[in-house]
Amino acid sequence: MTKTTPGHQGHHLEHLLIGMLNDASHDAQGPTLWIVDENLSAAQLQAIHPRAALLAITNRFEVGEALRAAGKQVLVNDFDFAALPVTSVARIVYRVSKERALVHHCINEGYKLLLPGGTLNLLGHKDDGIKTHGKNGEQLFRNKAQLQKHGIAYCTTLRKFSQLASANDNPEWLDSKDYARLRSCQAGGLEFISKPGVFGWNKIDHGSELLVREARQVLIGRTTAGPGKGAGLGSVLDLGCGYGYLLLMTADLPFTRCSGTDNNAAAVLAAKACFEQRQLAVSVTLDDCGEHLQERFDVILCNPPFHQGFSTSSALAAKFLAQIRKLLADKGIALLVVNQFIPIEKVAAEHFQNITTLCLQDGFKVVQLS
């Protein structure tokens, strides 16, 4: 028996996606909308041919930048489809996201955008829940999903009827957990604002919790008389800030300037709302690992991602380390938390002279770099 590797899985799906998007035979019927989530590789983004009838929408800053550089039309936001007129799209192509609420949101919004007779094409693997998403979509589209297998990749196609059965026949929207709405959350005694689409949006990430514990000890030790008195700590950056947990939990420390950045549009919306509610002066930007930041920081806090869509990637941690070196002031310190299996010390040695493991606990490690 031939064993299928993850690389072969991506290969099947990549060819399916590229083939569908480069098929211009549908253009005469109306525009194609490409919903681009974090699961797509740089090679996939580059392999799609730009044309007037193809528009992309993504919530990832770096994906939007790559698409623009390749000459494609793209909207970058938290999958806010309001900029597109209803019943204006003939075809939607969507490699399904990891989060169910987001998939349901895109299916609902896609239904509104499709012209009568238009199609929603959901792509993914069996383990991505592609069959379930197609079945769920049937309740909204009110016709049977067409499932096609391409190697081990699947395409589920839903077609929009010309009209509902009667004027009073309302669509049965899928439960998207009211995806677009910012909401108040509470976890571990902390109140914050967040939403679906943000990593760990309604909880406290345990790795971040450990990082805060260790960071506070180190940073308080760097002041002469404890937090709020004596020597200041200078500027701080939360690199990959999410809804802002790290800066919320260190807001009492004597930083002179606070900044956060994330590549996820949903995270930036949530973080800005969190800091505004607390009346904290924090500058939050949408960026790819802080690449467009022009300043350097005395303290950098970071819980770098290990996953890109459905895949685990230690290369992401390496990317964050290179950026931390670039953004860190000469006498500054960086404090990170990573999974213990990430060989961060080895990669960090290429950029930093001083590497100290502060904590090994519950499968995580907190590391100080300078």
pLDDT for 121-155, tens place per residue? Answer: 999 999 999 999 999 999 999 999 999 999 999 99
134 and 188 share one domain: no
351 and 267 share one domain: yes
Judge whether 69 lies within some domain. yes
Judge whether 164 lies within some domain. no
Confidence at residue 169, expressed as pLDDT on a 0 to 100 scale? 66
Alpha helices in 22-143 (DSSP H): 42-47, 61-69, 100-113, 130-141
310 and 349 share one domain: yes
Confidence at residue 164, expressed as pLDDT on a 0 to 100 scale? 52
If we measure between CA atoms, which residue out of 136, 29, 139 comes closest to residue 92? 29
Query: Amino acid letter at 86?
Result: V
Confidence at residue 313, expressed as pLDDT on a 0 to 100 scale? 52
348 and 216 share one domain: yes
37 and 143 share one domain: yes
220 and 312 share one domain: yes
Q: How far apart are CA 281 and CA 86, in angstroms?
A: 38
235: CATH = 3.40.50.150
Exposed / middle / buried, residue 217 (Cβ in 10 Å: 0-12, 13-18, 19+): exposed
Tell me: pLDDT of 71 over 80.
yes
10 and 72 share one domain: yes
Q: Share the mean pLDDT of the chain.
A: 90
Judge whether 133 lies within some domain. yes
3-state secondary structure of 340: coil
240 and 117 share one domain: no
Which of 159, 175, 208 is a domain's end point? 159
Helical packing angle, 100-113 and 130-141, nearest 10°: 40
32 and 71 share one domain: yes
Mean pLDDT of 262-274: 97
Q: How far apart are CA 299 and CA 233, in angstroms?
A: 8
Confidence at residue 5, expressed as pLDDT on a 0 to 100 scale? 40
Confidence at residue 8, expressed as pLDDT on a 0 to 100 scale? 45
- CA angle in degrees (0–180, nearest 5) for 89-95-100: 100
Q: How far apart are CA 353 and CA 325, in angstroms?
A: 11
Q: How far apart are CA 36 and CA 56, in angstroms?
A: 7
148 and 191 share one domain: no
361 and 213 share one domain: yes
Q: In what order do the strands lie in the sheet with 364-369?
A: 282-286, 255-262, 234-239, 297-302, 328-339, 364-369, 355-361
What is the share, in percent, of the chain residues with pLDDT greater than 70? 90
- Indicate the number of domains in the chain: 2
> 121 has which bridge partners?
93, 157
Which of 159, 191, 222 is a domain's end point? 159
Domain that holds residue 54: 6-159
